[in-house]
Amino acid sequence: MRLSRVLLPLLIIPAVFFSACTTPHSEIVLVKFGNDKITVGEFEQAYAKNAGGIDKAKKDSLQNYENFLKLYTNFRLKLKDAQIRGYERNQELVDELLDYKKKVGVTFILEKQLVEPAVKKLYEERKWEFRVSHLMIRPDSGGEASAQGKAEDLLKRIKSGENFEKLTAEYSMDHFSKTTGGDIYYITAGMLIPEFEEAVYKTPVGQICPEVVKTKYGYHIIKVTEKRERIPQVRASHIMVDYYSEGGEVDSAAAKARIDSVYQMLQNGVDFAKLAADYSEDQGSKKNGGDLNFFERRMMVKEFDETAFNLNVGETSRVLSTSFGYHIIKVTDRKPYPKFEEDKENLKRIYKQTRYNRDYDLLVDGLKNKYGYKLYNTNVDKLVSLGDSLKMSGDYWKAEWRKDVQDSVLFSFEGAKVTSDTFFTKIDALPEFQSKSLNKAGMEEGVRKVAGDLLLDHEALNLDKSNSEFAALMNDYQNGIYIFKLQDEEVWGKITLDSARLVEHYEKTKEKYRWDDRIELSEIHSKSDSLIKVYYQMLQKGENFDTLAAKYTERPGFKEKAGRFQLLSINASQLSMEANKLKNPGDLTEPFSMSGGYSIVKLIRKEPARIKTFDEARAEVSGSFQEEESKRLENKYVSELQERFKPETNNSELTKVFKGDN
């Protein structure tokens, strides 16, 4: 008993010791060559990317893992060779990578930092709609400050208890909404300018936005009167009776009597679609039972819209009046709010149209602060004074005063100084500046655009230091250009297409290059059944086929060929199949119908299947030779790498891949 108590701790200690020394799953080594290795973690990442995801990768077979490990090992050996050859110092490759990093990096920044988060936000916001009123003050002769001051004074009065609707009716400069208390009806994200919408989404229902909101239209005091879940679209039918009598005069009383009688028939159980077909005066929809198909908010007049979006599916409205006449509406369907992926492209379009430009400017402003952007106003103003009568694009380079300003710095950031020459080189490449004048407005727009582009380029060049996803993308591209150069040097660049080797290859492989049974024929074609019969009668009487074909065939491009088709496979078309039924050269078919009209075919000759001559097969031989030679050179190169680096592979460890914690 004592012995067992002593032994138990001794047995436990080695177990703990070995457990502590176990190699983490991701660090298990599958292949080793020199000081380099391929671990399970690296293999799993590469395999999952190649297989289309981790879930698919886990379901694959051990044989597939082994096959991929061979390919991946060769890939890594090639990258090792590229390192030894000093590709990372090859200026041509360095420049290519930098160019790609800028182009892809800018796209990556705009997509990941602007578009993707904004589109997801827009999707969530558009689940709701708000009914909104506003009081708007536009700048007048008093300028921006005066308009802002007036709007802020009115907001103070409202906060002090004065009636919003009354002040709106008296002071608002939006003449469309002021008569209805400032009501601009229902809105959702992506409908209006972003500054206005953002204020709406932050304001509780029944309250006034606590601050005056500035937009390009003026200064707004905003009131949110309702918030509800948004119905994207409804489908409705209607019966409409207009206000006019048969004589063309307005008679709303008679129209009301007509629509009321239709409404009573509905109440008595008569079918809505039948009543629409019999009584509706909307000629566009009555033949479809009054169906208007699906429509969104604000596509119909306000009274119609409000009624339709407040009805349940299958529900019918009472009689309502609009500027078009009297209506009875029946809602027949509603579209649910779409899933994100279904609506993604539409959301991107809305975002680009409404919010993208402002968000882009905010992003660039952030980069200006990040990289210490400085604008040299004196130098910019000098350019404007010298070039006010010139165009932004092109004229600068011809100006006599260019030599005086070409090295002047217009703006700088993080050590980079952009001179006049650099600036106008960029401007010349931008189509939107081709016709703009080199005045203050043109220069301001140009500097904003060029500075934004250069700042984004600079951010892109540094992005791999802060973004692991982009760093991985750049690493993949770098590996790709290294492999491409290796293949060019070791495989493609070593293939020589001299005639002797091609002929030798042809002799070894000529059984691959064969013609099928072929046929040569002529045709007379006509779109007219009666005409083709006339031509056939003329042939029967001895008229020359080629002469008739040259004169009458209607197949485009074949009159000048006298209807002649060069050798075709006997199964190439209906023409060749019909001609193949003929026995002797010169035999004719009877007229037969085919796509586009009618034809008569003459057999010229048949040629049995045979091996192509070298000249006939030259293009195929060349392709086959290059493919064979590429494989040979590739295998030779890989064998040399294997011999040089001597990779040690441990296939038994492949049983552990995708078995650890993922």
* In contact, 440 and 484? CB cutoff 8 Å: no
pLDDT, residue 233, reads 97
pLDDT, residue 247, reads 77
Please give the helix or strand (H or E) that residue 6 lies within, else none: helix 2-21
Identity at 96, one-letter amino acid code = E
Could you count the other beta carbons within 10 Å of the beta carbon of residue 343? Answer: 17
Q: Is residue 11 over pLDDT 60?
A: no
What mean pLDDT is predicted for residues 530-542? Answer: 96
Quote the CA–CA distance of 425 and 445 in Å, as a whole number. Answer: 15
Name beta bridge partners: 602.
522, 588
What domains are defined for the chain?
128-229 (3.10.50.40), 233-335 (3.10.50.40), 369-463 (no CATH), 514-611 (3.10.50.40)
Tell me the pLDDT tens digit for each residue of 640-659.
Answer: 999 999 999 999 999 999 98
Tell me the pLDDT tens digit for each residue of 342-376.
Answer: 999 999 999 999 999 999 999 999 999 999 999 99
Mean confidence (pLDDT) of the chain: 93
Q: Parallel, antiparallel, or unpaired: how do β-strands 29-33 and 183-187 relate?
A: unpaired
Tokens 């197949």, residue?
Answer: 555
Q: Is residue 277 over pLDDT 50?
A: yes
Closest Cα partner for 180 from 132, 148, 220? 132
pLDDT, residue 142, reads 84
pLDDT, residue 248, reads 81
Quote the CA–CA distance of 186 and 285 in Å, as a whole number. Answer: 26
Mean pLDDT is lowest, of 245-249, 301-305, 610-614, for 245-249
pLDDT, residue 2, reads 39
pLDDT, residue 21, reads 54
Cα separation values, 323 from 81, 186, 243, 661, Å: 79, 20, 9, 68
Q: Is residue 381 over pLDDT 90?
A: yes
Read off the pLDDT band of 415 (50, 70, 90): confident
Tell me the pLDDT tens digit for each residue of 32-82.
Answer: 999 999 999 999 999 999 999 999 999 999 999 999 999 999 999 999 999
Read off the pLDDT band of 595 (50, 70, 90): confident
pLDDT, residue 387, reads 86
What mean pLDDT is predicted for residues 444-472? Answer: 95
Cα separation values, 523 from 535, 546, 550, Å: 11, 9, 10
pLDDT, residue 6, reads 39
* In contact, 101 and 459? CB cutoff 8 Å: no
Tell me the pLDDT tens digit for each residue of 220-237.
Answer: 999 999 999 999 999 999
* In contact, 456 and 112? CB cutoff 8 Å: no
Read off the pLDDT band of 3 (50, 70, 90): very low
Q: Is residue 18 over pLDDT 50?
A: no
Mean pLDDT is lowest, of 16-25, 271-280, 470-479, 493-502, for 16-25
Q: Is residue 10 over pLDDT 50?
A: no
Quote the CA–CA distance of 558 and 561 in Å, as a whole number. Answer: 5
Tell me the pLDDT tens digit for each residue of 449-460.
Answer: 999 999 999 999
* In contact, 355 and 118? CB cutoff 8 Å: yes
Tell me the pLDDT tens digit for each residue of 325-347.
Answer: 999 999 999 999 999 999 999 99
What mean pLDDT is predicted for residues 391-395? Answer: 91
Q: Is residue 292 over pLDDT 90?
A: yes
pLDDT, residue 17, reads 37
pLDDT, residue 1, reads 38
Tokens (6 digits) for 74: 């060769």
Buried b / exposed e over 498-515, threshold 16 CB at 10 Å, is: eeeebeebbeeeeeebeb
Closest Cα partner for 585 from 658, 495, 519, 656? 519
Tell me the pLDDT tens digit for each residue of 205-221.
Answer: 999 999 999 999 999 99
Mean pLDDT is lowest, of 106-110, 436-440, 657-661, for 657-661
Mean pLDDT is lowest, of 195-199, 203-207, 250-254, 362-366, for 250-254
Show Cβ contacts of residue 39 under 8 Å, excluding neighbours closer than 6 positions.
26, 27, 28, 29, 30
Identity at 343, one-letter amino acid code = D
Looking at 161-216, list the stretches that DSSP marks H as alpha helix, in order from N- to C-terminal side.
164-171, 194-202
* In contact, 295 and 272? CB cutoff 8 Å: no
Quote the CA–CA distance of 127 and 231 in Å, as a whole number. Answer: 8
What mean pLDDT is predicted for residues 290-311? Answer: 96
Cα separation values, 3 from 6, 9, 14, Å: 5, 11, 18
Looking at 60-202, list the stretches that DSSP marks H as alpha helix, in order from N- to C-terminal side.
62-84, 91-109, 116-125, 143-159, 164-171, 194-202
Cα separation values, 395 from 336, 345, 442, Å: 56, 41, 14
